[in-house]
A and B are shown apart, each in its own frame.
Chain A
């Protein structure tokens, strides 16, 4: 079993829909990182959080440390949100562990 599990693996939505991507992990962590990978391969950092909730524009990330679970929400989704979303956990020892990613396709 992977230390970091993401769901769903693939997600297709219509423009305007509310999107939720989930991440569950099995190790103790100092922080959790949500990343966005564009079709060309470059990776952009979206959020880093260790408790509670963070919001940036249409993106919201939440984490529940007790349940070892985080969610990434996208409100009013748009075709330009189409990308692979990756959850990474930073264990207390320092090295990151990555989920396999969720491929999101938003259709106009």
Chain B
């Protein structure tokens, strides 16, 4: 079955450490997105990519980096510059970048500070 796979499900980060969250999709979707969710708050866009080898900053990109070397993969690195990384991270994809296609979501990665 096609879908989006995020790994790991749980991740712990030490002070000063970079960590990378994986997101893979086999839906042949062009656009991919990373969101951060804090308790009681809506999803906030970190980065998005509408095509391979291209990506744009979202609303809260500081302290994060991404790459889009392959259509099916959009990894997110949480760098040591992100001082409050504890949150739930969701990856999503969409067939096209236009707004009339639904987003499909992964099951999320929960990141905590050690």
Residues of A within 8 A of B (CB): 2, 4, 29-31, 33, 35, 40-45, 48, 50, 86, 88, 90-96, 98-101
Tell whether, in the assembled complex, residue B58 and residue A31 are in contact, meaning their CB atoms are under 8 Å apart: no
Cβ B100 vs Cβ A90 within 8 A: yes
- Please list the residues of chain B having a beta carbon within 8 angstroms of any beta carbon in chain A: 33, 35, 40-45, 48, 50, 58, 88, 90, 92, 97-108, 110
Bound Cα distance from A96 to B88, whole angstroms: 18
Q: Which residues of B contact A48 (CB under 8 A)?
A: 100-102
Query: Could you tell me if A33 and B102 are in contact, using CB atoms closer than 8 angstroms?
Result: yes
List the B side residues contacting A50 at CB < 8 Å.
Answer: 100
> B108 contacts which of A30, A42, A99 (Cβ < 8 Å)?
A42
Say yes or no: A98 contacts B107, CB within 8 Å.
Answer: no
Selected A-B contacts with CB under 8 Å, 6 pairs = A2-B42, A33-B102, A42-B107, A90-B100, A95-B45, A101-B42
Q: Which residue of chain A has the shortest Cβ distance to B58 in the bound complex? A: A95
The answer to whether B99 touches A31, judged by C-beta atoms less than 8 angstroms apart, is yes
Pair A43/B105 contact, Cβ less than 8 Å: yes
Q: Does the CB pair B104–A45 fall under 8 Å? A: yes
Known contacts A42-B108, A45-B104: A95-B48 contact under CB 8 Å:
yes
In the assembled complex, which residues on chain B have CB atoms less than 8 Å from the CB atom of A92?
99
Question: Please, how many angstroms separate the alpha-carbon atoms of A101 and B88 in the complex?
Answer: 15
Is the CB–CB distance between B104 and A30 below 8 Å?
Answer: no
Q: A29-B99, A92-B99 are in contact. Are A41 and B41 (CB under 8 A)?
A: no
Residues from chain A with a CB closer than 8 A to the CB of B103 are 33, 45, 88, 96
Question: Nearest Cβ in chain A — how far from B95, in angstroms?
Answer: 12
Whether A40 lies near B107 (C-beta < 8 A) is: yes
Taking the nearest CB of chain A, how far is it from the CB of B44, in angstroms?
8
Chain A residues, Cβ within 8 Å of B88: 41
Shortest Cβ gap from B70 to chain A (Å) = 22
Chain B residue numbers with a CB within 8 Å of A44 are: 105
The listed residue (A35, A41, A94, A100) touching B98 by CB distance below 8 A is A94
**CB closest residue in chain B, given A90:** B99
Q: Which residue of B lies closest to A43 (CB)?
A: B105
The answer to whether A100 and B107 have CB atoms under 8 Å apart is no
